[in-house]
Structure 1
Amino acid sequence: MCERCEHNENRLSRRHVMAGGAALLAASSLPWAFARADQPVLAGPPPNAIPPDEALNRLMAGNARYAAGATECKDYSLDRAERVGAQYPIVAVLSCSDSRVSPELLFEQGPGDIFVVRVAGNFVNPDGLASMEYAVKILGVPLLMVLGHSNCGAVSAAVKVVTEHAELPGHLPELVQSIEPAVIAAHDKHTPDLVAATIDENVRLNVKRLIDDTPIISDALAAKKIAVSGGVYDIATGKVRLI
């Protein structure tokens, strides 16, 4: 082997070792790198570094405008380029999948302001919980909200299963099973409108599930970095009632 080839081989071997080490290091930090991929390092506090009560006030003020038909005229394309590299939502909302419920609209917030997790019946499941944890740990949201709504079909189905022993097809029994504890809690209160009471109880139970989550959400709550709230959206009036 000539001296030149031997030199190139040695250099290539060193390069392979260095590349292998870098790959190993990157692989070991991959989960965190993936989680931080959409959040650049900032020199100052992020735009959503606000107290939880301020975030809630902004939401409720937006809802008041929405319910009154006094929404502001906005051009959401103006900040589109700024949203490419990062997101700084002020709240993570666990909402029902109902097509009549759109958190961004009913709170009159723009793109990037609300991190939305949706499932029919707005209950906490493992995937939804992980998404809410992501919003707290990675995105730095100051507020979590469980948002139920009037005339919820998933809740109505759960009420029929409990009270009338209705049988549902497909995977629907698995879905309503998660809402049944709220039906039982509402039934024990002997309320005249069991569906409406279950909607409220479902929000309360899932707020508690978020509060009890360890360690991410519970630690953030203990440090007073976040708050957890619940509300019910009335489709007819457009108003959100905090509970």
Structure 2
Amino acid sequence: MSSAEEALSRLRAGNARFVERIESAASVSREIAPVTLPREQNPMAIVLGCADARVPAELVFDQGLGDLFVIRVAGNIVAPSGIGSIEFAASRFGTRLVVVLGHTECGAVTATVEELLRPAGEQSPNLRAIVERVRPAVAPVVEGCGHSHTDTIVPEAVRANIHHSVAQIRKGSEILEQLILEDGLKIVGAEYDLASGRVHFLDDAD
């Protein structure tokens, strides 16, 4: 079982390798390593990430099959099913690191900012449910920015939403609270940059 610090170090190193391949022309000709299919899973980290197709956690952190327990939902929002999934992995596999992985230009956050600035009222109940979970994190940012353009608000709103999800996980489950206090569970936020491929860890991870 990896400690939270060991897992975080491996994720940092994996993202560095991922970015290096993006920036290296030699990566095009790199030989493809054979894939081994694990019979069991022993994830070193749990990742609550956005469903955006450009942000697959296994690739972003250069990890293999069975290395990450990934939960993906638009806006990396925290819902009961997500909390339950985190509880399951932390309890069943002893995983001691949870990463909330948001990303720049997040569509769910952008939609929430736009709804706050210019209410449309045309969303389906399911889409509105996502917006309503993002709203508590984003509303103070929008209020603080006054009548700024959406593009100037979204970057700060994305980070606020990540911080909000981290706080919800930390305080949303007696099981997780106990693991944090007694067993080294660590919950951190991170932001993936769509332009560079780099992951910046937020909160107390730096």
Structure 2 letter corresponding to 1:175:
I
RMSD (Å), alpha carbons: 1.8
Q: Once the two structures are superposed, what CA deviation does each residue of 1:154-198 show, in whole Å capped at 9, x if it has no partner?
A: 111011111111233322111111101111132244386211111
Instruction: Please give the alpha-carbon distance, in whole angstroms, between the structure 2 residues aligned to 1:159 and 1:230.
Output: 20
Match of 2:35 among 71, 77, 83: 77
Question: Counterpart of 1:173?
Answer: 128
Structure 1 letter corresponding to 2:14:
G
Instruction: Return the index of the structure with the highest Cα Rg.
Output: 1
Match of 1:91 among 33, 38, 45: 45
Question: Counterpart of 2:60?
Answer: 106
Q: 1:68 Cα shift?
A: 1.7
Q: 1:50 Cα shift?
A: 2.0
Structure 2 letter corresponding to 1:206:
S
Shift in CA distance, 146/73, structure 1 to aligned 2, threshold 3 Å = farther
Match of 2:157 among 170, 194, 198: 198
Question: Counterpart of 1:152?
Answer: 106
Instruction: Please give the alpha-carbon distance, in whole angstroms, between the structure 1 residues aligned to 2:133 and 2:34.
Output: 37
Question: Counterpart of 2:195?
Answer: 236
The reply on whether 1:183 has 2:141 as its aligned counterpart is: no
Question: Counterpart of 1:39?
Answer: none
Match of 2:77 among 100, 103, 123: 123
Question: Counterpart of 1:59?
Answer: 11
Shift in CA distance, 74/223, structure 1 to aligned 2, threshold 3 Å = farther
Q: 1:116 Cα shift?
A: 0.4
* Alignment coverage as a number of residue pairs: 191
Shift in CA distance, 210/76, structure 1 to aligned 2, threshold 3 Å = farther
Instruction: Please give the alpha-carbon distance, in whole angstroms, between the structure 2 residues aligned to 1:199 and 1:209.
Output: 15
Unmatched segments (≥5 aa) in structure 1: 1-48
CA contact (8 A) 1:66 1:106 kept: yes
Structure 2 letter corresponding to 1:67:
V
Instruction: Please give the alpha-carbon distance, in whole angstroms, between the structure 1 residues aligned to 2:113 and 2:73.
Output: 18
Q: Which has the higher contact order (CA 8 A, sep 6+)?
A: 2
Question: Counterpart of 1:212?
Answer: 171
Structure 2 letter corresponding to 1:232:
E
Q: 1:220 Cα shift?
A: 0.5
**TM-score under structure 1 length normalisation:** 0.74
Percent of aligned positions that are identical: 35
Give runs of ≥4 in structure 1 deviating > 4 Å.
Answer: 70-74
CA contact (8 A) 1:63 1:108 kept: yes
Partner SS, residue 228 of structure 1: strand
Partner SS, residue 166 of structure 2: helix
CA contact (8 A) 2:3 2:96 kept: yes
Unmatched segments (≥5 aa) in structure 2: none
Q: Once the two structures are superposed, what CA deviation does each residue of 1:213-239 show, in whole Å capped at 9, x if it has no partner?
A: 332111110014210010000011000
**TM-score under structure 2 length normalisation:** 0.87
Q: 1:74 Cα shift?
A: 5.9
